[in-house]
Structure 1
Amino acid sequence: MKMTGLLSRRSNDLAGVVGTVRQVRAGSPVPRKLGSKDVAVLDLNRTSAATARAVVEADVAAVVHVPRPGEEMLPRAAFRILASSTIPVIEDADLAEVEDGTRVRIDEGVVYSVKTEGQLATGREVGPETLLSEVHAAENGYVESALAHLANATEFLSLEHQLLLDGEGLPGIDVDFTGRHVVVVTGDRASEAQLSDLKPFMKEYRPLVVGVDGGAELLRAARISADVVVATPTGVSDEVLTDGAVLVVPADRDGRAEGLERVTELGVGATTFPAAATARDMALLLAFHGGAEMIVVTGDDRGLENAFGASSAPSSTMVDTAVSSRLVHADACATLYRSRGAGIGLALVVLAALIAVAAVVVARDSAQDLLIWAIDAWNTFALWVQGLVR
């Protein structure tokens, strides 16, 4: 890094870069007042080129890159854009939970609170050459991971194409998915918050609920009854196994299933599902080939950021493709439902206003005039509400 650019940002009183934390969330607009006295905290793996350019144009004091836990660098343009600037970039210093407006001092990768001088996080400062070298390595690693992932996905397709295309080999269970909305809750870290966001949707549509591994525990903690649980018995509690849901136990293609003895000890019934797929994939296939109208799945998004990572099973690439015509991610479902709910709420406000106006008309005009006005107003209102819910 050009030392002149770095030194110009140093405080006369304290060593290092001093600035105010500004959290820049993925997908959110860059704060309008972002400037040279700020430290931009963001996940460069999910930062668009436009956002990176805006951060550089704001000439911030420093950028702190906070990726998701355990995630490798992705070859995003944001890294190259920052490498072409003189802005210090700090990696591995987790400031994700530090509040906006916190004054910090960054010296040799260590982040301190200006107020208390306590250490908030430890990272490392990377210069342009190091940053570009890391991006090149990330490009190679990303492509290699993709090739390996797609090779394994193709192998899965060769083994399970009959299951994917026609549902051959699906176990028979006493649950009718035909024409129903289905919510599949996984044990991924994002599922708990997504499940909370989905509660209004679930309250109105009463979908069938499928708990997958740790997702079954999340449902129980949220006091939501699962209709189906797809899980290895040794990975969930006795309470989940005995709650009354239809239990499906993943098994190898040769029929061997882990933990069946535990099910027997508890005196509950279970159906095995032999396939070279994950429990999540099995749940999606059960709903899809069972005739579900829509399948909402919780968990981490499966965009290109995560598509080829260690947490993404090759089988899921093929299964998601097979069920894509009915698959909706939990975040998208919650967003659409909130938009719809807002429109209905507005409709209720308008209805209340019409009632108030009617009261005034009653006080002033004849009953016949009121009847004519009420019919016209109601027809207009009904047509408007129909437009909201279409």
Structure 2
Amino acid sequence: MQVSGIARIDKKTKHLALRLQKGEIAVIDHKDIDSTCARMLVARRPSVVINASASMSGRYPNTGPSILISAGIPIIDSAGPEIMSLIREGETLLIKDGRILKDGAVIAEGALFTELDVKRIAKESRANLAQELQSFAENTLRYIKEEKSLILDPVEVPEIGTKFSGRHVLIVVRGEGYIEDLAIIKSYLQDVKPVLIGVDGGADALLDLGFKPDMIVGDMDSISDEALKCGAEIVVHAYGTGDRAAPGLDRVRSLELNAAVFPLQGTSEDMAMILAYEMGADLIVAVGTHSSLIDFLDKGRAGMASTFLTRMKIGSKLVDARGVSRLYRRTPGMKEFGILIAAAVVPVLTVVLQLPAVRTWFGLIFFRLRHLLGL
């Protein structure tokens, strides 16, 4: 394999994906590439991905590398941490098999990561899941004790303009299958017109589908400038108090936009659900949310205490629409369309043929045909 192109480099894959262009070389330092970041890269169509770390460490069966390889994007794996300081943004690189060249000199070397590697490591990592699950469960139980205030204490919601009371709310997170699930419930969006909340990059997903979000919440680290400027109300997630508690606020201010700040324990999607609940939403529909062991390991989280507590608090108001697209994958064939048309046409013809004028008209045509044929 030989590929050349302009390098785009960032330790944060989701940051890199915001500026990566088609045909460029993505240089990342991402141990265990997760499915969400992989799909962000696939959408940008780089010629190759160079990963300083192991794309699959074997700790758990992450699916990011398989997504990239299936999309025809090769991965040069485990190129070494020093590559992040040897390459500058915008430099031209040449990839020859696993060797990485700059100005004709080899600066690093990795291994071409293949589907066989994915299958081998995935098989090995499944043996580790029991230990990961035990550790995850223990951490979750421990943090539930520390974060129980999420459901026991009153929540101080910031002053916002969006009206929630008595309405449905759709929360979109850029998680597994979110694009397909959004497409399936498009008619629901058109008919019910719920309040639309995009969690970070979930706002881009709504815009791509032709819907403007009413509110954007989160860290603002994986959302495009265009989405932030779409006119939606912005609520930045803060992790405590102090100047650095809300890292997303700097980006919002750099775009000369206003934002409310909501300090709350847990993830940004937890915050979105709590916000909708506290503001009186009648029903909360969630798409792309994280709820499984793999989801949280992908995000680098050791437990899911806040998510467990959030869902316990919201209760029956929450409808998790994740995976709904799997229920409607089959598309009707010509036979089904034929039956549908016949079912519609036959009753109409039956009624029409009972009309006296129509029966007289058909009688005249029949008489004329008999006369022409000499019958």
TM-score under structure 1 normalisation? 0.52
Q: CA deviation at 1:94?
A: 5.6
- Determine which of 130, 133, 143 is the counterpart of 2:134: 143
In 2, the alpha carbon distance for the partners of 1:204 and 1:220 equals 18
Report what 2:151 is aligned to: 161
Alpha carbons 1:278, 1:313 under 8 Å: kept: no
Q: How does 1:8-47 map to 2 (within 5 A)?
A: none
TM-score under structure 2 normalisation? 0.54
In 2, the alpha carbon distance for the partners of 1:152 and 1:302 equals 16
In the alignment, is residue 286 of structure 1 matched against residue 286 of structure 2? no
In 2, the alpha carbon distance for the partners of 1:288 and 1:282 equals 10
In 1, the alpha carbon distance for the partners of 2:340 and 2:157 equals 45
In 1, the alpha carbon distance for the partners of 2:348 and 2:287 equals 41
Change (3 A) 1:237 1:335: closer
**Residue identity in the other structure for 2:162:** V
**Residue identity in the other structure for 2:350:** V
In the alignment, is residue 356 of structure 1 matched against residue 349 of structure 2? yes
SS of structure 1 residue aligned to 2:196: strand
Report what 1:315 is aligned to: 306
Alpha carbons 2:184, 2:324 under 8 Å: kept: no
Report what 1:268 is aligned to: 257
In the alignment, is residue 185 of structure 1 matched against residue 180 of structure 2? no
Percent identity for Structure 1 against Structure 2: 26
SS of structure 2 residue aligned to 1:224: coil
Change (3 A) 1:315 1:353: farther
In 2, the alpha carbon distance for the partners of 1:268 and 1:235 equals 17
In 2, the alpha carbon distance for the partners of 1:247 and 1:350 equals 50
**Residue identity in the other structure for 2:349:** A
Report what 2:200 is aligned to: 213
Report what 2:236 is aligned to: 249
* CA offsets 1:183-239 (integer angstroms, 9 cap, x no match): 111122422222222212212222211000111122223332000100224543322
Alpha carbons 1:171, 1:271 under 8 Å: kept: yes
SS of structure 2 residue aligned to 1:291: coil
Alpha carbons 1:201, 1:334 under 8 Å: kept: no
**Residue identity in the other structure for 2:172:** V
In 2, the alpha carbon distance for the partners of 1:336 and 1:122 equals 31
In 2, the alpha carbon distance for the partners of 1:353 and 1:96 equals 51
Q: How does 1:51-62 map to 2 (within 5 A)?
A: none
Alpha carbons 2:172, 2:199 under 8 Å: kept: yes
In 2, the alpha carbon distance for the partners of 1:348 and 1:288 equals 45
**Residue identity in the other structure for 2:313:** A
Alpha carbons 2:150, 2:306 under 8 Å: kept: no
SS of structure 2 residue aligned to 1:249: strand
Report what 1:298 is aligned to: 287
Aligned length: 250
Q: CA deviation at 1:153?
A: 2.7
Report what 1:56 is aligned to: none
Report what 2:116 is aligned to: 121
Q: Name structure 1 gaps, 5 residues minimum.
A: 1-67, 75-92, 99-118, 340-344, 367-390
SS of structure 2 residue aligned to 1:121: helix
Alpha carbons 2:178, 2:322 under 8 Å: kept: no
Change (3 A) 1:190 1:335: closer
Change (3 A) 1:143 1:363: farther
In the alignment, is residue 174 of structure 1 matched against residue 161 of structure 2? yes
**Residue identity in the other structure for 1:284:** M
Alpha carbons 1:146, 1:308 under 8 Å: kept: no
**Residue identity in the other structure for 1:253:** G
Q: Name structure 2 gaps, 5 residues minimum.
A: 1-54, 71-113, 331-336, 360-375
Q: CA deviation at 1:352?
A: 5.4
Q: CA deviation at 1:172?
A: 2.4
* CA offsets 1:6-41 (integer angstroms, 9 cap, x no match): xxxxxxxxxxxxxxxxxxxxxxxxxxxxxxxxxxxx
In 2, the alpha carbon distance for the partners of 1:333 and 1:97 equals 26
Change (3 A) 1:172 1:334: farther
In 2, the alpha carbon distance for the partners of 1:322 and 1:153 equals 13
In 2, the alpha carbon distance for the partners of 1:295 and 1:349 equals 40
Q: CA deviation at 1:282?
A: 1.0
In 1, the alpha carbon distance for the partners of 2:67 and 2:250 equals 46
In 2, the alpha carbon distance for the partners of 1:193 and 1:172 equals 34
